[in-house]
Amino acid sequence: MPTIKIDGREIPFESGDTIIRAAHRAGIDIPHYCWHPGLSVAANCRMCLVEVLPPPGRPAMSLDILRWDPAKQDYVPAAKPKLQPACQMACASGMEVLSESSDHVSEARSAVQELLLLNHPVDCPICDQAGECRLQDYWLEHQRKGKRMRQEPVHKPKAVTFGPTIVYDAERCIVCTRCIRVCNELARDPVLSVRERGNLGEITVSPGRELDHNYTLMTEHVCPVGALTSRDFRFKARVWFLRSARTVCQGCATGCNAYLDYDPRNNTPYRHRPRENMAVNTYWMCDEGMLSYRRAVEGRLLTALVGNDDASVEDALAAAKEQLGGHADDPSKVAIVLSAQHSNEDNFALYHLATTYLGATDFFVSGKPLGQGDDILISEDKNPNTRGAVQIAAATPPRPVAELLQGIASGQYAYVVALGSDLEVDAVEAQRALSRLKGVVTIAAHEGPLAKAARVSLPACSWAEAEGTYVNRKGLAQRSERALLPHGDARPAWELIGRLGRTLGYATGWKTLAELRRAMPPGAVAGGAAAPEAVIGAAPPAHAAAAATAIADGSRVEPKKTEATA
Alpha carbon separation from 206 to 16, 159, 162, 194, 209 (Å, rounded): 34, 17, 10, 10, 5
Q: Mean of the per-residue pLDDT values for the chain?
A: 88
Cα diameter, the chain: 108
Residue 377 phi, psi dihedral angles, 5° rounding: -135, -35
448 falls in which pLDDT band (50, 70, 90)? Answer: confident
Q: Give the amino acid at 447.
A: E
Residue 37 pLDDT > 80, yes or no? yes
What is the arithmetic mean of pLDDT over 544-553? 30
Q: For the ranges 481-485, 488-492, 541-545, which has the lowest average pLDDT? A: 541-545
Please name every residue paired with 417 in a beta bridge, in sequence order, or none if there are none: 336, 441
pLDDT tens-digit map of 417-441 = 999 999 888 888 888 888 888 889 9
* Residue 483 CB neighbours (<10 A): 25
Residue 327 phi, psi dihedral angles, 5° rounding: -65, -30
3 state SS of 293: helix
Supply the pLDDT for residue 543.
Answer: 37
556 falls in which pLDDT band (50, 70, 90)? Answer: very low
Residue 389: in which H helix or E strand, if any?
helix 386-392
Please name every residue paired with 277 in a beta bridge, in sequence order, or none if there are none: 282
Residue 550 pLDDT > 70, yes or no? no
Residue 547 pLDDT > 80, yes or no? no
* Residue 529 CB neighbours (<10 A): 12
pLDDT tens-digit map of 196-218 = 988 899 999 999 999 999 999 99
Supply the pLDDT for residue 67.
Answer: 65
What is the arithmetic mean of pLDDT over 212-237? 96
Supply the pLDDT for residue 169.
Answer: 96
Question: CA-CA distance, 35 to 177, in Å (whole number)?
Answer: 9
* 256 touches 157 (CB < 8 A): no
Supply the pLDDT for residue 25.
Answer: 92
Higher-pLDDT residue of 451 and 485 is: 485
Supply the pLDDT for residue 225.
Answer: 95
Instruction: Catalogue the long-range contacts made by 10-19 (C-beta closer than 8 Å, 24 or more residues apart).
Output: 13/91, 16/90, 17/90, 17/91, 18/86, 18/87, 18/88, 18/89, 18/90, 18/91, 19/50, 19/52, 19/84, 19/86, 19/87, 19/89, 19/90, 19/91, 19/95, 19/97
Q: What is the dihedral angle through the alpha carbons of 73, 79, 85, 88, rounded to the nearest 10 degrees? A: 150
379 falls in which pLDDT band (50, 70, 90)? Answer: very high
